[in-house]
Structures are given as structure tokens and as C-alpha cells.
Amino acid sequence: MPAAAPLSAGSDRDARSQRGPLLTSPHLPLPPARPRRIAFAGTPDDAVPALHALVEAGFGIPVVVTGAPRRRSRRGSDTPSPVAAAARELGLPVSHDPSDLAGCNADCAVVVAYGQLISEDLLAVTPMLNLHFSLLPRWRGAAPVERALLAGDHRTGVSLMALEPALDTGPVYWRHEVSIGRDDTAADLRQRLAHDGAQHLAGSLAAGLGTPQPQSGEPTYARKLTPADRQIDWPQPAAHIHRQIRVGGAWTTLDGERIIIREATSQSGQAVTPPGTLVDDAVATGDGLILLRTVQPAGRAALDAHDWLRGARLPPATRFG
């Protein structure tokens, strides 16, 4: 499918070669309009749809560079990244050395949530594109989906940019916008953006990239969320706390033990009791209620909130936090 919201019409490879290579700021090469051999760099589940889309569109993938295997639980063994597993299923060579992006005779490389910085030396010899899950320049950085949701943005999206050494500053080929629904979680949004971005990526590479345009607008930065960002402050409005829960990992305390609120709904209005107070199957906030749906007490699996409350037999006016 064609890319959404292209920022310019592009010339083909022959026209570009006649006027010399286009450069990003200040001196990095851009990829050809219609590359055929594309190296790939990515690590998590969010990057897998893009790899599949490139293969299904018929592009040659000489190498897939991904994070090294790591232990995902204290008792487990080292396991390959989701991208490594997908690449092996597709019969593609896998590397953990980013220098292989420049040593595989590719027309360019596509980077999707790789998780490591690409050195300027590599960028100088191999044109690289980055699929980024935000409407650049809003939410440059490590956690764009989570920050958009936490900030109460009504829309987000995915952008294709030319990769530069500076953080997410490269010129943009296109942006694809999606709305953020009232109950969308960060996981929902990442899945949607990964799928939509993959399809628009493959479509734009096949149709011709065009010429990227410098980013315009006020940049914002999406630093990685910390445990403090996820801690629920019950005097806050219900809508804000609901966004924290939808981001994932929102937590509070009960009798000194941490409890994660996995799923909930919000009900704004007048405060009915001091914030943090349990009211039936809900918790009071600064302006309403958070209705509990799924909770995870310390050291236990996630539970239906009704089942947990029946078993916990909490006394009236129990306070969280």
C-alpha cells in the first residue's frame, strides 16, 4: 500500500544519480528512491511486522542485525530476540554486530526499535532509514508511545525518517497518523503502529521514497519511564490515573506491599471520599473513581479484581498508597 501523508514527490534513482547524492545534515547519504537490497536492524516484537513486510514485498534482506540473546527470567536460559527468531524462521542471516549493516552490500538499512545507537561512521557509509512510532518532532526518544498516552495526546502515529547521529532529528519522508481511543493501551497502540508502519514502509519503498523534509514544530522528548512515573498518586484526576494504568505497570501500595493495577476503567465526577480509599470495587481519586478490573498483588499472578477483593476481605475505608 502507498505511504500515507508523503511529504514530497520524489525522483527515481537515475534522476538522483544525475544531480549527485542527496545528503542529510550535514553530510550523510540518503538511500536510493527504490532500494532493492535492504539490511534490517531491530530487536523487539514491535519490529517484527516491518521485517515480514519487507520480505513479503520482495526486497532482498542480506542481514538482520539484532540485540544479543538475553535471559528473560531468573531461571530461564538466554533466548533470542523476537526479531532474531523471526529472521531465522524466514531463513535470513542474523548478526549481533551493527558493523555488518555496512558490510553486506545493501542499498540501505532500515532500523526499527533496534535499541542501540548507530555510529556516525556507519551512517556515513550506509544510508539508513528509521521507522519511529511518533509524529515527529513530537516525542523523540525511547518511549514515544507511552509518553503520548501519558500526556493525554489525542493522536499519535509513525514516521519514516533518515537516520542521523542526533536523537530522532532526521528529515522525514512521511507520517501516518492514528487516533488514540479512550481505552487504548500502550500495547494496543504499539501493535497498531507496528502493523501500519510496516505496511507504509514497504509501500513507500516500492513506490519511491521521494525527498525527505526537515522536521518542523516544537520537539518533545520521550524519556524512558521510571518506576516513579508509574506510581499512582491517588489525589490526581481519574483520567490521569487511567492513562497511567493504560501505559502499563501502574502501581500503588497496600499495607506496605506493592500492587500493580493491570486493568481498570475511570469514572470522573465529584470526589466521594479521601483519595486512595477503597469504595466497593473501586478506588477514590481526586475527582472520581478508578474501577478495578485486574490487579497483581506482590509475588502473585494477575487476578480478576472481584476475585481478589473477595479473598482479601479488606476492611471498610481501606486506603491504597
List, as own/partner pairs, every contact residues 274-278 make where C-beta atoms lie below 8 angstroms and the sequence separation is at least 24, other chains included: 274/319, 275/234, 275/235, 275/321, 276/234, 276/235, 276/252, 276/319, 276/320, 276/321, 277/317, 277/318, 277/319, 277/320, 278/314, 278/317, 278/318, 278/319, 278/320
Q: What is the pLDDT of residue 63?
A: 98
Looking up cell 476481605, which residue turns up?
313
What are the pLDDT tens digits along the chain (321 aa)? 443 444 433 333 333 333 333 445 556 888 999 999 999 999 999 999 999 999 999 999 999 999 999 876 666 678 999 999 999 999 999 999 999 999 899 999 999 999 998 999 999 999 999 999 999 999 999 999 999 999 999 999 999 999 999 999 999 999 999 999 999 999 999 999 999 999 999 999 999 999 999 999 999 999 999 999 999 999 999 999 999 999 999 999 999 999 999 999 999 887 778 999 999 999 999 999 999 999 999 889 999 999 999 999 999 889 999
- Cα separation, 147 vs 218, whole angstroms: 15
Single-letter amino acid, residue 102: A
Q: What is the pLDDT of residue 24?
A: 52
Torsion sign across C-alpha atoms 222, 224, 230, 231: negative
**Is residue 290 helix, strand or coil?**
strand
Single-letter amino acid, residue 273: T
Domains of the chain plus CATH, in order, are 13-207 (3.40.50.170), 227-312 (3.10.25.10)
- 8-state DSSP, 274: S
**pLDDT single digits (tens) 251-282:** 999 999 999 999 999 998 877 789 999 999 99
- Cα separation, 61 vs 200, whole angstroms: 18
Residues 6+ apart with CB under 8 A from 233: 241, 321
All three cell numbers of 91: 531463513
Residue 58 backbone zone (phi > 0: left; psi -120 to 50: alpha; other: beta): left
User: DSSP string of 59-117?
Assistant: -B---EE-PPPEESSTTSPEE--HHHHHHHHTT--EES-GGGGSSS--SEEEEES--SP
- Cα separation, 148 vs 181, whole angstroms: 12
- Cα separation, 181 vs 192, whole angstroms: 12
Q: What is the pLDDT of residue 1?
A: 43
All three cell numbers of 98: 551493527
